[in-house]
Amino acid sequence: MDNESTEKVGTVWKKKFFVALLAGFLALGGLISVFGFTGTAFALPLGGIGDFYVKFDKLEGKGFQLMPKIGETGNSDAEPMIRNKIEEVKIDNLHIYKDIKLPTDQWIRINIKALGPTKISGLIQDARLIDANLSFNELAIEEQNTSDFSKNWSQNAQTITITNAKLVTDYLFQSVVSLGNAKIYVEKIDSPDRTNIN
């Protein structure tokens, strides 16, 4: 009797997981069709799914702002992060990916790659780690006398150039994004990316 109830619970859990996975793939299919028809998406947020990774060869941005933030991750309600805001962005060789463990203990990676140029307006990104080469024009660090730590200081620059970048990200928003020659695919992997701050 106990074995039957254990199997039933396991089956229900797997059914719910696969229904959620199917819904996710349908949403991903909708995203693919949007890019397939227009190559552009409007007001596209990505967050609340735990760490995901952003890699690219080069980013050129105008209207850069950096500030501290406490944000939610897949494992915590409050983690220290860096919030980047950039008004206009051009990225070469963008690769965004998320590693997911299936109930079978197999790992998969969902990849979004843009082999052509990526253009973004209104980029907001919350990152826990930025590993890259950074170059700024007209960089200013501003402080305010306030108890709100998120407004206590900020860095602003007219332009920013980032090369050879890898970011551990927990939230990403773009007002408008256009991916050149985009490829979206899933692959099996042996183990997840464990890039972290340490």
Domain boundaries, the chain: 1-38, 41-189
pTM, two decimals, is 0.72
Contact 68, 80 (CB under 8 A): yes
The Cβ of residue 189 has, within 10 Å, a number of other Cβ atoms equal to: 14
Q: Which of 89, 97, 140 is nearest to 117 (CA)?
A: 89
**In 35-56, which positions are buried (b, 16+ CB within 10 angstroms) versus exposed (e)?**
beeebeeeeeebbeeebbbbbb
The secondary structure of residue 78, as a DSSP letter, is: -
Band (144; pLDDT cuts 50, 70, 90): confident
Span 170-195, average pLDDT: 88
Look at 4-8, 129-133, 163-167 and tell me which has the smallest mean pLDDT.
4-8
CB 123 within 8 A of CB 84: yes
Among 62, 82, 67, 91, CA closest to 157: 62
> For strand 94-101 and strand 107-114, is the pairing parallel, antiparallel, or unpaired?
antiparallel
143 has which bridge partners?
153
Mean pLDDT of 28-54: 55
pLDDT at 124: 92
Contacts of 134 (CB under 8 A, 6+ apart): 160, 161, 162
pLDDT given for residue 109 in this prediction: 92
Q: Is the pLDDT of residue 35 over 60?
A: no
Per-residue confidence (pLDDT) for residue 38, from 0 to 100 = 44
